[in-house]
Amino acid sequence: MVLAKRPVATEGTLRSWLLEGLQTDRKQIEHGPHVKHSWWRVMCLTGVDYFSTLGYQPGIAVLAAGLLSPLATLFLVALTLLGALPVYRRVAAESPYGQGSIAMLEKLAPQWWGKFFVLALLGFAATDFVITMTLSAADATAHLLENPFMPDFLAGQRVIVTLVLLAALGGVFLMGFTEAIAIAVPLVFVYLGLNAVVVGTGIVHVLQAPRLVWDWESALSVSYSSPLAMIGLSLLVMPKLALGMSGFETGVAVMPVIKGGIGERIVGARRMLTTAALIMSVFLIFSSFVTTVLIPHQEFAEGGKANGRALAYLAHGYLGNWFGTVYDISTIAILWFAGASAMAGLINLVPRYLPRYGMAPEWTGAVRPLVLVFSVIAFAITIIFDADVDAQGGAYATGVLVLMLSAAVAVTLSARTKRQHAATAGFGVISAVLAYTLIDNVFERPDGVKIASFFIAAIVSLSVISRATRSTELRVTEVHLDPLAEEFVNEACGDIHVIANEPHRRDQAEYNDKLRETWITHRLRSNEPVLFVEVTVPDASEFETELHVQGEERYGHKILKIESSAVPNALAALLLYLRDRTGGIPHIYFHWTEGNPVVAMLRYLVFGGGDVPPLTREVLRKAEPDPVRRPRVHVG
């Protein structure tokens, strides 16, 4: 029997439009959107973020590694294909409902510690995804304003232009998820095609002028004492290239959008991750090589024509301004829409955690309200950082690397639990490499941790407030009785009298004393049949639960035993169930709780107990607005 009430939108209103597609049922959330898509189409949605890094990754590589850029990029590709890809292929298999590696780690830390651990990881995920939106939009603005055909009145208006791009992105998602994928597919195909032309043209020019390669090799020989020194320095600067590893966590977050059952979803997700990684690896290797060899290094510096747009520089230089402008338009479009994969990740990830924890309003299970909230946050970050790409890069890399490290640790622990020794060792090495990469990035750019800390603090604070304000909701979705409990309820006739008992020794004296107290305090007739009900709280951090009621006969007394996350809510749900089942109004009997009411409220919020009688009555008042049909609460 379903008890928990869901928000109902009035048809034809703004509220109805905003809450369209509201997901509150756990199975519905795990199933994902009703409209599913082929894995390659979903790859285009997640790939707009991953592939769009080609717009700035070659320039970042040269600024970080100089002449060693191609070698450092090779190490980055090796970490991607031999590290991140195997990790996330396993995450896809073990967490196919869009919860990513966070769900795997959630199981390791029970109760409140686990919830706050998940909130911290969600803070880093929010950092990654939101900064993806703002950084990509800011970089799209930079490409737009640096194009030679741009009108002069847009000069110096990067914040306004970035806000317009973010608003347009939010508008696409307000229309719907299918529309977002429909835009992503042509953007990705056109962008990759144009990049293939630019990189291919660059390779042809290198082959036609081998002297450029000889000059590059000579410069390496002069600058570095040995190949080992080159390898060592490339490994040291490789963490600065971490932006080129984005997109994996988003890929597993949108798994519910992939067409097919669980098995097909896993296969599709693995194909999606592998295909995207291979495509990106090829482009990274060749683009890094041709930009390093063909572009004068002073052009990569701040204010240079290749700063943040190395491939665009080659497009304009070797294929003309008209082709270069077409390339710029494609780059601007995909950078603008790169935030789509981040938005998709957020609107798939948030409903799987915060509402389930009672740490967000139920409307967060709908897409459109979340789009509006995240768009407002993106506006604020853009204004705070003045739409500066470099200022946001540290936070972006930190978010990406924390999520990758958490995924690597999760699969390492999973392999260890299953006694897969080779896999444990392999994933352990990957975790160590990612940990080094993260630590190096944090020391190099500590602003990323600061921004992530803000997101974590905001999420934890809002979550705690939401949990407190929602604590007196019914919080029970269904009630199930075992055969003996069914027998007790069926035997009940007329008014049902329930005595709430906090179990201690559970001996005969405890039940006899409790029954005698109820007779005396509440003037209950001694021949009136009663049921004892006992609620224990194994994990108060859970929010919504199903009640499984067990019947037990002990010393001649009939007892209903329940495990729940909160005593008052479980009692209220049971009373409403008994009312609907029998047609009579049940009565429940308590004695007053001693102690400070403020402390009692804190005990309720944290441990699920507290001052049970008034809280039970409050839960009943919210769940049943009609006083005539409301179960009776007696306290003495």
β-pair type (557-563, 545-554): antiparallel
Listed as ranges, residues in the chain with pLDDT below 70 are 1-12, 21-34, 147, 176-179, 243-244, 493-494, 526
According to DSSP, the residues that pair with 551 across neighbouring strands are 560
CA distance 488 to 558: 7
Q: Which tokens hold the place of 463?
A: 């979550």
The reported pLDDT for the residue numbered 574 is 93
The reported pLDDT for the residue numbered 10 is 46
The reported pLDDT for the residue numbered 177 is 60
Three-state DSSP class for residue 234? helix
CA distance 84 to 245: 8
Confirm if 310 and 324 have CB atoms less than 8 A apart.
Answer: no
CATH 1.20.1740.10 in the chain is located at: 35-469
Q: Residues 586-618: pLDDT tens digits?
A: 999 898 878 888 888 999 988 988 889 999 999
The reported pLDDT for the residue numbered 231 is 87
Q: Residues 247-302: pLDDT tens digits?
A: 787 788 788 888 888 889 999 999 999 999 999 999 999 999 999 999 888 888 77
- Cα torsion for 598, 599, 604, 610, to the nearest 10°? -100
The reported pLDDT for the residue numbered 182 is 82
Burial of 418 (0-12, 13-18, 19+ CB in 10 A): exposed
Three-state DSSP class for residue 553? strand
The reported pLDDT for the residue numbered 548 is 92
CATH 3.40.50.300 fits 35-469, yes or no: no
Contacts of 229 (CB under 8 A, 6+ apart): none
The reported pLDDT for the residue numbered 484 is 93
CA distance 481 to 552: 12
CA distance 449 to 441: 10
Contacts of 352 (CB under 8 A, 6+ apart): 29, 30, 97, 98, 99, 103
Give the predicted TM-score (pTM) of the model: 0.75
The reported pLDDT for the residue numbered 236 is 82
β-pair type (476-481, 545-554): parallel
Residue 158: other Cβ atoms inside 10 A: 19
The reported pLDDT for the residue numbered 621 is 93
- φ, ψ of residue 628 to 5 degrees: the values are -65, -35
CA distance 140 to 152: 17
Q: Which tokens hold the place of 168?
A: 């347009």
